[in-house]
Amino acid sequence: EVSTEDPETAFCTLANREDLNPEESSIYHCLYQFTRNEKLTESNKLLCDVCTQRHYGPKNNIKSENKYVYTNAKKQMLISLAPPVLTLHLKRFQQAGFNLRKVNRHVKFPEVIDLAPFCTAKCKNVAEGDTKVLYSLYGVVEHSGTMRSGHYTAYAKMRSINNHLSDLVLRGQFPQALESEPGKGQWFHISDTYVQAVPASKVLSAQAYLLFYERLL
């Protein structure tokens, strides 16, 4: 779907992303790179219907496929609707010649993350004036091994049921207040039938493959 936005606000975010200065090999750096502003030039120019009609007239008058006008443009992917549950999937492989190689680098991730620098200024389910969109970590999936074989384990946080989150998921209601103690709860490491309580520091040192966050209410 193509929509016309005010060019003054089309690339604006809820919080100033330029103040981030994200650390390399961190989830913030990954999100910053994924949502960076890209320039589309030369062979990547954007086909502009408005420019084409201005130059050649209405589409009905365009008989040749070559009669299209392409223009330089800017592209940026931002979050327009903050989800109740945020799942981040890290790319854990890279091309090495004709082969794929697993990336074992540790990517830092926090227990509480703010998505505001990556949300459009007109994010649909964020109250006007809010400059924070906070999420709390509740699950991590880790893979050990190589691209050909390995083993998946998980870290999960056990805590009291968050009924407000259920309302948000089922009815799309807007959160009215932040959870008072987002860090409260016990982490467990799960590997097949083996379950062991672990400290948060152990979780945060994992080589995350999947990260699961819930929106704070």
Beta-carbon contacts of residue 83 (< 8 Å; ≥ 6 apart): 215
Structure-block tokens of residue 146: 């190589």
Architecture field, domain 79-215: Alpha-Beta Complex (3.90)
Q: Radius of gyration of the chain from Cα atoms?
A: 22
Residue ranges of the domains in the chain?
A: 79-215
- 141-142-148-149 Cα dihedral, nearest 10 degrees: -100
Q: Extract the residue ranges of the chain whose pLDDT is less than 70.
A: 1-5, 7, 59-66, 162-183, 217
> What would the pLDDT profile of 88-114 be if each residue is shown by its tens digit?
999 888 777 777 878 888 999 999 999
pLDDT of residue 195: 96
Q: Are 11 and 74 in contact (CB under 8 A)?
A: yes
